[in-house]
Amino acid sequence: MTAMAANEPELQQDLLHRVLTVSRHLGASTDLNEILAVIIDTMRDGLDAERATVFEYDPKADELFTFVAHGFEREAGEDHAGGTREIRIPATKGIAGDCVQQRAIINVPDAYDDPRFNREVDKQTGFRTRSVLAIPLITHDNELAGVAQVLNKRGGAFTDEDEQIASALAAHAAIAMKRGRLIEDRLVREKLERDLALAREIQQSTFPTELPYLEDFDLAAWSEPADQTGGDAYDIIGLRGAIADAAVNAGPATNGNEPASRAYLLMADATGHGVGPALSATQVRSMLRMGVRIGAGLSDIARHMNEQLGEDLPPGRFVTTWFGELNVAESTLSTLSAGQAPLFWYHAAEQTFEDIPADTVPLGVLDDLDVDSPRTIKLQPGDLFIVFSDGIYEAAPEQRTGQFGTDRTLEIIRAHAGESAAAIIDAVRDAVMRFTGGIAPDDDRTAIVLKRLAESER
């Protein structure tokens, strides 16, 4: 009988004790860094080695990665301080990589005699590697969580007994790593969702809560982002005389408030959707307000916006923008479109639509924007001016059988042209919902409808 066989009952009892101990420690924490530290300490101390490293496996990149503080710097007696420098290696190279490929323990008694060993690591750290035991960490559902690599068995090379101990510990370690990673991913996702919700709240707070009262005109606006935050923005600024006055946005004249004599209108649609485009669209809104406050004209505002966005936006990003200035007394609308199209002017007397083309390219595309004076149109009683973002026209059902389109949109507007601006938007919005089956939008949807009231509506 061999010595190992004679000690088998004692070995099994010791192994069971170690497995139960590490299982208890691993189950006591849900923090991934703490779990990794427990695995490292257990592997190192349980196998009487000098160092241990746990590499997590990244299946998308097919790489193994670890952090210095719970990898190469973690020796017996060290406290875990949290990783700061990530180290990544291909999952096809080195001893750890071979462990991944074989999904089996790799026992190397002399590292410097093994061609798979990378001596550069020792050169960088000043550590001398003698023996290596690489253990695949595989969950009960055969998913590779990572590789534990234990270095320098005290007193010689790693033994068959060490491999047996490592195998028993590895299954528990893999399950704990997977649980810790799932919890960490969930916490990151929840934090991201909270941050996005806050960003949405901030963005929504920039939209007008009440629209200015415009005598003989009706105005409505609506926006729905595709994500928590959208790349669309709109603004409507009422003015008395030459100075923007926030008090104008406060109800009808019957409440003692003067009606606005002019109004500036804006729709901005930044490429993409999410936090980045939302910031760009909100930036456009802020620049419009500053331009209005200093009395700049639409053309100058557009040029200065373009210069600023050209400096701020990353390559390939731009903002389609529409500016409008309503003169209430003259019933005229000055309109300037930087890539925002189509725009529609509904002539109530003829019940026809006029397509107003864009005046120039989107903001942020060219260094120097060529902008002419805004086009000015005279709105007749019952006329509408329609500004919708492309998220409405391009809305599609889940089966992708077609888009909502401009023709369908205009027919709905024509059918509801005698109603309020808000009712027109509601009709289009409801029709889009029916057409798409109520699925979440792929793109932000924003609408502005300006109506000059007919005599019978005043």
Task: Calculate mean pLDDT across residues 404-417.
Answer: 97
- Counting Cβ atoms within 10 Å, is residue 384 exposed (0-12), middle (13-18) or buried (19+)? buried
178, 296: one domain:
no
Alpha helices for 47-159 (secondary structure H): 94-102, 119-125
- List the domain range (segments joined by +) for residue 239: 207-457
CATH code for position 280: 3.60.40.10
CA distance 135 to 280: 49
Q: 202-212: per-residue pLDDT in tens? A: 666 677 878 99
Asked, for residue 97, whether it belongs to a domain, the answer is yes
**pLDDT(83) > 80:** no
Residues 278 and 406 in one domain: yes
Asked if residue 342 has a cis previous peptide bond (ω within 30° of 0), the answer is yes
Number of residues that make up the chain:
458
- pLDDT bin (cut points 50, 70, 90) of residue 7 is low
* Domain identity same for 35 and 173: yes
Q: Are residues 82 and 50 in the same domain?
A: yes
Pairing of strands 232-240, 262-270: antiparallel
Strands in 343-347's sheet, in edge-to-edge order, are 217-224, 445-452, 384-388, 343-347, 352-356
Which tens digit of pLDDT belongs to each residue from 98-127? 999 999 999 999 999 999 998 887 887 788
Do 275 and 407 lie in one domain? The reply is yes
Query: Based on the structure, what is the number of domains in the chain?
Result: 2
User: 261 or 243: whose pLDDT is higher?
Assistant: 261
Task: Decide if pLDDT at 248 tops 50.
Answer: no
- Output the pLDDT for position 256: 41
In the chain, what percentage of residues exceed pLDDT 70? Answer: 81
Judge if 159 and 259 occupy the same domain: no
Per-residue model confidence (pLDDT) at position 26: 56
DSSP for 355-375 reads EE--SBPPBTSSSS----PPE
* 181 and 32 Cβ atoms separated by less than 8 Å: yes
| Most confident residue range from 170-179, 286-295, 342-351 | 342-351
CA distance 451 to 418: 10
| The pLDDT of residue 6 is above 80 | no
* Whether residues 239 and 136 fall in one domain: no
* Distances in whole angstroms, Cα of residue 390 to Cα of each of 29, 134, 342: 49, 56, 8
Same domain, 393 and 295: yes
1: pLDDT confidence band, cut at 50, 70 and 90? very low
Which residues have C-beta within 8 Å of that of residue 301, sequence separation ≥ 6?
A: 287, 288, 291, 292, 323
Instruction: From 212, 391, 228, 237, select the one nearest 301 (Cα to Cα).
Output: 237
Do 13 and 117 share a domain, yes or no? yes
Amino acid of residue 445: R
CATH at residue 48: 3.30.450.40
The model scores a pTM over 0.75 = no
* 159 and 297 fall within a common domain: no
Indicate the pLDDT class of residue 43, thresholds 50, 70 and 90: confident
Question: Which helix (H) or strand (E) segment is 428 a member of?
Answer: helix 421-436
pLDDT at 327 over 80: yes
Greater model confidence, 301 or 10? 301
Per-residue pLDDT at 84 exceeds 80: no
Whether residue 244 lies inside any domain: the answer is yes
CA distance 88 to 61: 10
